[in-house]
Amino acid sequence: MSDNIDEESFAAFLDGMRRFVRERLVPAEQQVEEEDEVPDSIVMEMMNLGLFGIGIPPEYGGLGLTVAQEARLSIVLGEASAAFRFVFMPNVGLGSRSILISGTDAQKRAYLPRLATGALRACFCLTEPGSGSDAASLRTAARRDGDFYVINGSKRFISNAPRADIFVVMARTDAQSSSGAGISAIIVERGTPGLQVGPAEKKLGQRGAPIADVTFDDVRVPAENLIGGREGLGFSTAMKVLDAGRISVAASAVGMARRIIDEASRYAVQRTQFGQPIAKFQLIQAMLADSETEYLAGHALTLQAAETLSRGGDARNLAAAAKYFCSESVSRIADRAVQILGGAGYISGHPIERFYRDSRVLRIYEGTSQILQLVIARTMLKGFE
Amino acid sequence: MKILVPVKRVVDYNVKIRVRSDHSGVETNGVKMSMNPFDEIAVEAAIRLKEAGAAGEIIAVSAGPAAASETIRTALAMGADRGILVQSDAELQPLGVAKLLAALVRQESPDLVIMGKQAIDDDMNATGQMLAALLGWPQATFASAIAVAGPGIEVTREIDGGLETLSLPLPAVITTDLRLNEPRYASLPNIMKARKKTIDQLTPEALGVDVTPRLRTLRVEEPPRRQAGRIVGSVDELVAALRDEAKVI
Ligand SMILES: Cc1cc2nc3c(=O)[nH]c(=O)nc-3n(C[C@H](O)[C@H](O)[C@H](O)COP(=O)(O)OP(=O)(O)OC[C@H]3O[C@@H](n4cnc5c(N)ncnc54)[C@H](O)[C@@H]3O)c2cc1C
């Protein structure tokens, strides 16, 4: 990753992105909610802005942001509906990072430039019907057959699958092993016979960010699609990009919290009951103050995690704690906001009602809160054992 | 075709404006400043002409304090080729700015000047017209569409109750209205490239222009606070209130 983006340029870019959120994304939120799709015009603008390639180095046509810069951008973009981020995030996150970290030169040259522009759209296939938190127990199998791998199995809840061109699939290449060491990452292109994407799931929130099942029925892919060219790299690669992914979710939760608090504050100042704005009631103020405090704490923790990882430090615990705290606190913040709005916060069409639903899943993907608690405790306790 | 685009540094349109306590003007200290939105539309219009192959060079110019170079930088990041800053800390009024622009036009000989119809700070809506008059050039104000047509240019104008399309020979002055286009957001690579583009620095004196203000601001006031609404009991009561209290019917 590059450090050669000067702060002044980056600040000017973030400033433009704040306007992009305010002028383009926020006004389109309701349309996305109703149509369950981000309008093409916005996808085009995201391509022109280079958002598909924010984490990909400039030599492959990306912006080459550091993890810390990416977090600051995610906080800004997090203020709009999650659906917008999911347009490009799969290209930025695990999809491209696994190629970037472990891919061969040929794989990098073949895929990264098109992922960076958004010409190719990626999804990352890890979760299965039988393996979620216990990802290392996955059963999708890739059997070597001459110059090919033959993949069989099924994946569940795969973000972006309905519109992906390439599928980065975590599959077991070593049938003997039942641990992560037997898992490899393989690139499967859309249209390969035997690859099937199920219908987009109906879900609680985050409309416009489709997830679907992906099934593999004797899917034959050339052996050169094995990321890194060596078997068994898949799981360790996924572990390496985990921290950046968690920081990214934490950052989007921070942005979401900011937006929710602003919406609730605006409402509290305008809404009058008992002859005065409800913002004058200390019980309302207490809710706002709790939310603001949690937002500030999450913001600081997320930036600390991001800066640590950017400097090459060990951010495992910081990233887990940031994702855990920010996803849990944004749920509380959204819940308080519904309370502050009263009935209006429960009616479809109000952003608060939508954010209340959208925020919920942040505690589930990229490591559930419970799994993150385990990560944090395990690392902590190491020092005492 | 060479296009000159004047851009003005104004208080960001999203900032809640506060009047200085001595009523001499609007508080700008520590306030976020941005390019006048109508000027962004002008920059975008120029870039689209260039992308369509109709224009060669785009020069962004601004008159104002040293910080106005940031506004020029924004235009360069959007896609303008180079900038000129006429630096002055004096209060600049439309006629002074129009004279500065006329001097720059004589220096640069553009075929087209595209500029905002007004700036959102003082809403004068005068500089473009004054510039056209000083140069003796044709002008098309409030443009909602611009099309190159043969050796000239066709401009659709928003007028009361409809649209009017004019054909202008070049060189000409065009001022932009809100619906002409939606300006682009600068990409990070373009922002970084813009750092390397040149911004020439001039002064009103060097251009031989006297910018001494002709108008004096007596007092600036905040608009009256909006009164709370009220629910009326019947149509008759509404009509009576509109006639007797609001005096609008
Ligand atoms: C909207 C959405 C998008 C997603 N996108 C993707 C994607 O793009 N790619 C992908 O591969 N996956 C994706 N997922 C899947 C997601 O990563 C999993 O849902 C998540 O890892 C949890 O797995 P699970 O749903 O199987 O829950 P389970 O693992 O079955 O967990 C159920 C409950 O048990 C708890 N639990 C599990 N193990 C323990 C333990 N050891 N100790 C204590 N508690 C435990 C969990 O915390 C949870 O509360 C997505 C999911 C959603 C909802």
CATH of the domain at A257: 1.20.140.10
B195 touches chain A (CB under 8 A): yes
Report yes or no on A274 lying in a domain: yes
Question: Could you tell me which CATH number the domain at B3-220 has?
Answer: 3.40.50.620
A50 touches chain B (CB under 8 A): yes
Q: What is the pLDDT of residue A317?
A: 95
- Quick one: A221 and A340 in the same domain? no
Instruction: Measure A161 CA to ligand 1 centroid, in angstroms.
Output: 17
- Quick one: A330 and A245 in the same domain? yes
CATH number at residue A202: 2.40.110.10
Domain end marker among A203, A233, A263: A233
3-state secondary structure of B157: strand
Q: What is the pLDDT of residue A2?
A: 45
pLDDT digits (tens, 9 = 90+) for B158-206: 888 899 999 999 999 999 999 999 999 999 999 999 999 999 999 999 9
Domain end marker among A215, A233, A251: A233
Does residue A366 have an active-site annotation? yes
Within B90-241, strands assigned E span 112-116, 139-149, 152-159, 162-168, 172-176, 199-202
Report yes or no on A134 lying in a domain: yes
Most informative mutation of A133, A137, A363 for ligand 1 (most atoms within 8 A of CB)? A133
Question: Which residue in chain B is spatially nearest to A12 when comparing CA positions?
Answer: B191
A5 and B77 in contact by Cβ < 8 A? no
Residues of chain A predicted below pLDDT 70: 1-3
Instruction: Write down the pTM of the prediction.
Output: 0.91
- Quick one: A82 and A154 in the same domain? no
On whether the CB atoms of residues A219 and A195 are closer than 8 A, the answer is: yes
- Quick one: A74 and A31 in the same domain? yes
Chain A environment of B73 (Cβ under 8 Å) = 12
What is the distance between the alpha carbons of residues A149 and A142, in angstroms, rounded to a whole number? Answer: 6
Domains in chain A: how many in total?
3
Dihedral angle over CA of A373, A375, A377, A379, nearest 10: -160
Q: How many CB pairs under 8 A join A and B?
A: 38
pLDDT digits (tens, 9 = 90+) for B57-115: 999 999 999 999 999 999 999 999 999 999 999 999 999 999 999 999 999 999 999 99
Tokens coding A342: 């009263």
pLDDT digits (tens, 9 = 90+) for A126-144: 999 999 999 999 999 999 9
Per domain, the residue ranges of chain B are 3-220
- Quick one: A151 and A113 in the same domain? no
- Quick one: A169 and A47 in the same domain? no
A5 touches chain B (CB under 8 A): yes
Counting beta carbons within 10 angstroms of the beta carbon of residue B94, is it exposed (0 to 12), middle (13 to 18) or buried (19 or more)?
buried
ipTM of the prediction greater than 0.90, yes or no: no
The strand pair at B33-35 and B9-11 is best described as: antiparallel
- Quick one: A262 and A378 in the same domain? yes
Report yes or no on A2 lying in a domain: no
Structural domain for A59, as ranges: 7-117
Burial string for B7-38 (b: 16+ CB within 10 Å, else e) reads: bbbbbeeeeeeeeeeeeeebebeeeebbbbbb
Report yes or no on A1 lying in a domain: no
Look at residue B227 and tell me whether its pLDDT is greater than 90: no
Tokens coding A311: 């400097």
DSSP codes, A156-222: EEEETGGG-SEEEEEEES-TT--SGGGEEEEEEETT-TTEEE-PPPP-SS-TTS-EEEEEEEEEEEE
- Quick one: A89 and A215 in the same domain? no
- Quick one: A58 and A136 in the same domain? no
A19 touches chain B (CB under 8 A): yes
Domain end marker among A233, A250, A280: A233
Chain A environment of B193 (Cβ under 8 Å) = none
- Percent pLDDT > 90 in chain B is 86
